[in-house]
Structure 1
């Protein structure tokens, strides 16, 4: 986690994400790119209006304000030994974030989240949710900054899929980075129920196959996966949740939702996600 992208709209949650990213970069001896995206207005919801139709002075004023905010942010929070670069880009927020992450070959995106619940969550969502859904690299959603040394217990919800090598490589790197204990969690729902007698053997075999160390195995039965993950995390006072996520679009997202996005919306602890659409 040496190259970290922090999208920043200068809200409190974005500042919290930056503060936490600084702690990670200080530990990894890495660097941070602070990105502010100026999203151009959309005409009738379909066609993006070219920048030349806007007053040049207006766009320039937005950039000047962003640069001033960058300097104040870095002046107050930046730590010695951590290189912080700032970028200002124009375009759709989610696509610009993922594009910059790929162009600069970054390792991690750290984003602030304010959370949302109910019907608003499905119809509107946040930029963080969209990045979680579509990012090709790990995303760490942060509602508030946490002490680096306090992250010692990571919950890892798993389906025991043996074909998720990239996900497990990242999970082990995350665990090693924080020197944390990994708590494997298998959730049984009415639509996906495993025999209790088989669960322990299956999870132990999974841990052996991926050479996991310093872990516990746990199962929960619930109507909803997200509820089981959240309740388990709270009950065990875990410090972070790490999980794979699937990219869902359109009606599939509306009707199926995303377990990872629901957890991001409802939890205060950092949520690390990685797309497993391999």
Structure 2
């Protein structure tokens, strides 16, 4: 049923919780688990003299969180690959899913509602709304 499962991660505990669901699917369906961290280039990372350094720090943190999930999958004998990309998180997740023939996206939601969700936006909600790939939204 699933050959390729994508787990976007931001390094949070909620993302680790979602990864556990992806591991189960990887084991059950012998699927490859793709782990993706998206480093968002925002105004806060483009401060003169600090932008490149800040982006490099975010990229390093993304590599670390991606690698932890990939290593856990591999320790369970699940085929896994990881990558870090830059861009708009929802758009990058959807593009990755399309480019890699992803069958299911497993991602966390922080459970925000009301004003918090309106102000912060929701990457998960945008992926659900704008994508063609089924999404398993895991609330922690």
In the other structure, the counterpart of 1:72 is 68
* Aligned-pair CA distance for 1:130: 1.3
Q: In the alignment, which residue of structure 2 is the partner of 1:202? A: none
Counterpart mapping for 1:232-251 below 5 A: none
After TM superposition, list the pairs within 5 Å mapping 1:139-218 onto structure 2. 139-144=135-140
- The verdict on how the C-alpha distance between 1:72 and 1:122 changes in structure 2, with shifts beyond 3 A counting, is closer
Residues 37, 90 of structure 1: 8 Å contact kept: yes
Point out 4+ residue stretches in structure 1 off by more than 4 angstroms.
Answer: 76-79
Tell me: CA distance 1:85–1:41, structure 2 relative to 1, closer, same or farther (3 Å): same
Higher helix share: 2
SS of match in other structure, 2:125: helix
Q: TM-score, normalised by structure 2?
A: 0.84
Q: Distance in 1 between matches of 2:90 and 2:139?
A: 18
Higher relative contact order (CA 8 A, sep 6+): 2
Q: 2:89 aligns with which of 75, 89, 93?
A: 93
- Unpaired runs of 5+ residues, structure 2, are none
Are 1:34 and 1:84, in contact at CA under 8 Å, matched by a contact in 2? yes
Kindly indicate whether residue 128 of structure 2 is the aligned counterpart of residue 132 of structure 1: yes
Is residue 98 of structure 2 the alignment partner of residue 102 of structure 1? yes
Residue 37 of structure 2 aligns to a residue whose secondary structure is strand
Partner of 1:3: 4
Residue 39 (structure 1) aligns with? 40
Greater Cα radius of gyration, structure 1 or 2: 1
Q: Tell me how far apart the structure 2 counterparts of residues 124 and 34 of structure 1 sit (CA, whole Å).
A: 23
Q: Is the 8 A contact 1:22 1:79 kept in 2?
A: no
Structure 1 residue 120 displacement after superposition? 2.9
> Cα 1:117–1:3, aligned 2, differ >3 Å: closer, same or farther?
same
Is 1:81 the counterpart of 2:77? The answer is yes
Distance 1:61 1:116 in 2: 27
Aligned residues: 137
Structure-2 separation of matches of 1:115 and 1:100: 24
User: Cα gap change, 1:73/1:32 in structure 2, threshold over 3 Å: closer, same or farther?
Assistant: closer
Q: Alpha-carbon deviation of 1:68? A: 2.4
Structure 1 residue 33 displacement after superposition: 0.9
**CA separation in 2, counterparts of 1:71 and 1:117?**
31
**Aligned in 2, Cα 1:116/1:103: closer, same or farther, shift over 3 Å?**
same
Residue ranges of structure 1 left out of the alignment (5+ in a row): 44-48, 145-278
Query: Which residue does 2:29 correspond to in 1?
Result: 28
114, 132, 137: which one aligns with 1:118: 114
Whole-angstrom CA distance in 2 between matches of 1:102 and 1:67:
22
